[in-house]
Amino acid sequence: MTRRAMRARAAGWWVLVLGWAAAPAAAQAQDGPASAQGVPASAEAAQASREADAAFARGKELYRLGKLDAAYEQYRTAWSLKQSYDIAANLANTELQRGMKVEAAEHLAFCLRSFPATGNAAQHEQIRAQFRAVRKEVGSIVVKVNADGAEVSFDGTAVGRTPFRHEVFVKPGTIAVQARLAGYEPARVTLEVPAGETNTADLTLLPLERPAPSAPPAPRAEVPAPVAPEGADTVGPQPEVLIAGGAVAGAGVIAGVVFTIVAVAKSDEAGTQRDALVRENGPGACTRASAPAACSVLRDADDGHIRAANGAILSFAAAGAIGAGTAIYWLATRPSASQQGVRATPAVGASGFGVTVSGEF
């Protein structure tokens, strides 16, 4: 027989006794447990109680057969479905034999708190002895936090939320206790917890500091936009008008240059023909009734020179007039000029035409 089986058989009487003591309670659960107000519990709760009793019974049988690990699993199942002093006592007994001293202390403490006043005195004393023995090997922490609902952790492992009604058992050593709650700064304390002693973790959660509302920006001084004089053109010169005026003026200049070149060529041609005609026929040859044929060619050359010269003059004049008109349009229609009152007035005289520009520049 193994050592574990011998320990299980040695403690078997206690488990079986607790099972018998719990029998009336189990029978009552099957008859239909009642709430504190005497109202029958829900069907789900009754079913959970029956399943817990069945798992508890299987655990006792497995424990009697020396199958400690299997019994422990059945007791854990029963505890998850129903927390009662008898399940807690048997679960703690298997935990002690498995070396789970912290868990055993937790369940033994629950068993002592919930042990019925009419329960077996010998059983009660046996549980007290077990608790005193294991209590010497574990430490405990009383958790106090200034806010309810805070999540508390030991060394990063969550142990519950505040408030804690009872002490929490831990392995002896250094324990980092931390509390967290939304809207508060986390609180933390490190305790040195010796075996058999109880320390208090007193944590104060401080509200998070909210940033002070920033001052509203100073109002900006609005500078009124300048108002154009009534009737002034605030649109400005049209780009297409300026482009067209510049293009036509440029074309006029080019035409004037071409006509000038043609006029010079025609003048040279007429001069050459005139000199030749004088040498061959003498001066005034073209004034006689029988004028030579060269006179007709000379007249054509003179006429071509005159037409080209007139074309050059007209082209340059038109280019200048259109360029001047475009420049005056630009000066008269730009916003600054409109505000300064620039005026353009056409001037026509016997010797030609022009434009008079007046205003402030």
Are 1-33+41-136 and 138-207 equal in CATH topology? no
pTM: 0.50
Show me where the domains of the chain are located: 1-33+41-136, 138-207, 239-285+293-358
**Sign of the C-alpha dihedral computed for residues 194, 195, 198 and 203 taken in this order:** positive
* Domain covering 138-207 assigned CATH 2.60.40.1120 in the classification: yes
What pLDDT score does 247 carry? 82
Q: According to the model, what pLDDT value does residue 184 have? A: 96
Residue with tokens 């004088």: 278
Domain spanning 1-33+41-136, CATH architecture: Alpha Horseshoe (1.25)
CA 100 to chain centre: 48
List the structure tokens of 348.
């026509």
pLDDT tens, N- to C-terminus, the chain (361 residues): 445 444 444 444 344 434 433 333 333 333 333 333 334 458 999 999 999 999 999 999 999 999 999 999 999 999 999 999 999 999 999 999 999 999 999 999 999 999 999 989 999 999 999 999 999 999 999 999 999 999 999 999 999 999 999 999 999 999 999 999 999 999 999 999 999 999 999 999 999 987 666 767 766 666 565 555 555 545 667 787 778 777 877 887 787 788 788 778 878 877 787 777 677 777 666 766 566 666 777 677 778 778 878 877 887 787 788 877 777 776 777 665 444 555 555 554 555 555 565 655 5
What pLDDT sits at residue 30? 34
The residue type of 37 is Q
